[in-house]
Amino acid sequence: MVNERAESVPPLWLRPPARIAVLLARGIAKLTPERQFALLRAVRGGARPSRADEARRARNAVLHVSVMCTGPWCLQRSIATALLCRVTGVWPEWVVGVRTEPFTAHAWVQVDGVPVDEDTAQLASFRRLVVIPPRSRKGVPG
């Protein structure tokens, strides 16, 4: 969950929005959890659910443009990934979870319940506390 690297160089058009998403995520990560959740729920509106390749591309771009996001700053990395997805018209599931032995918290994005570019074996021991999924289009709250 730390010292990750971008798998590839993202397209030139994706780098400026990725930098902006990282900067915005840095500010959002400093808010209280309640405000973070409210803001992310508001931002997701109007986006279609992300496919795994779209979320992976956004996460890769975030890792490419931000040294900080390659380290242990999972909250900023996951928020930036979700925001960059939103810029492209999609929204992944944004998740915060904890585990007790040893205690640690982690934030990540997933698609259809599958974490994107995360150690799924390690995440299996995490209890999901907050999930902000794409907004349902059929009136079912998300």
> Residue 105's domain spans which residues?
14-132
Residue 2 lies in a domain: no
Question: Which tokens is 59 given?
Answer: 């996460």
Distance CA 11, CA 136 (A): 30
For the segment 66-91, what is each residue's pLDDT rounded down to a tens digit?
988 998 899 999 999 999 999 999 99
pLDDT given for residue 138 in this prediction: 52
Q: Let me know if residue 6 belongs to a domain.
A: no
Average pLDDT value for residue range 110-134? 94
Distance between CA atoms of 124 and 138, rounded to whole angstroms? 30
User: In the prediction, which pLDDT does 6 show?
Assistant: 86
Within-domain flag for 5: no
For the entire predicted model, the pTM comes to: 0.92
The answer to whether residue 28 sits within a structural domain is yes
Using CA atoms, how far apart are residues 89 and 63, in angstroms rounded to an integer?
Answer: 20
Which pLDDT belongs to residue 142? 54
Residue-wise pLDDT for 9-47, tens only, equals 999 999 999 999 999 999 999 999 999 999 999 999 999
HSE on the CB side for 130, CA within 13 Å? Answer: 16
Convert 21-35 to b/e letters by CB count within 10 Å (16 or more is b). bbebbbebbeeeeee
Is the residue at 138 inside a domain? Answer: no
- Whether the CB-CB separation of 83 and 21 falls below 8 Å is answered with yes
Give the span between the Cα atoms of 39 and 30, in whole angstroms: 12
In a domain, 139, yes or no: no
Total of domains in the chain: 1
- Residue 125 falls inside a structural domain: yes
What percent of the chain is modeled with pLDDT above 70? 94
Q: What residue type is assigned to position 124 of the chain?
A: A
**Residue 29 located in a structural domain:** yes
DSSP 109-130: EEETTEESSS-HHHHTTPEEEE
